[in-house]
């Protein structure tokens, strides 16, 4: 019998369940209540896509929006019926940092990242990504091809 403490076991619960995680980090310029509502809408858009893609929304989509001093607000989606839960209050600010994490089951990781980036684009906010950005041509590199939600077969960049 092998002692679990000495076994080389590096699998975490997400790996064990077959889950995926994607995320982005960046900045939002001219943050206010409208910007917060648009990010909340993006989280719901992602959640609905996950539900349609996998047949159930199993996991979470979270966003932290924060100032350099540590003040911030968190947006958390774990249940589509309950919607996005908001914790904290953040006053309008010229520039805030943000991080979004999606950790879910039964979807393709690349398609989830692609959906996340399109949902952020659809907010029409002034967003600068510092981590998690990518660039691709739809037919050549992303693998979405005709299944891509934007329906355009042109080069575009997420940054």
CATH code, 18-158? 3.30.1220
Q: What is the pLDDT of residues 56-76, one digit of tens each?
A: 999 999 999 999 999 999 999
Distance CA 118, CA 134 (A): 12
Q: What is the pLDDT of residues 125-158, one digit of tens each?
A: 999 999 875 443 444 344 444 454 444 333 444 4
Question: In the chain, which residue ranges form alpha helices assigned H by DSSP?
Answer: 13-17, 33-54, 109-121
- Where exactly are the structural domains of the chain? 18-158
Distance CA 101, CA 78 (A): 12
């Amino acid at each position: 019998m092998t002692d679990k403490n000495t076994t080389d076991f590096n699998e975490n619960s997400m790996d064990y369940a077959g889950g995926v995680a994607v995320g982005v980090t960046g900045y939002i310029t001219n943050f206010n209540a409208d910007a917060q509502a648009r990010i909340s809408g993006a989280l719901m858009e992602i959640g609905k896509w996950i539900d349609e893609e996998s047949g159930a929304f199993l996991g979470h989509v979270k966003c932290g929006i924060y100032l350099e001093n540590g003040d911030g607000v968190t947006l958390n989606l774990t249940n589509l019926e309950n919607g996005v839960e908001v914790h904290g209050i953040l006053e309008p600010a010229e520039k805030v940092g943000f991080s979004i994490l999606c950790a879910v089951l039964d979807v393709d990781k690349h398609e989830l990242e692609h959906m996340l980036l399109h949902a952020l684009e659809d907010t029409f906010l002034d967003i600068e990504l510092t981590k998690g950005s990518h660039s691709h041509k739809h037919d050549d590199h992303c693998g979405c091809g005709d299944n891509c939600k934007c329906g355009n077969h042109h080069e575009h960049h997420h940054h």
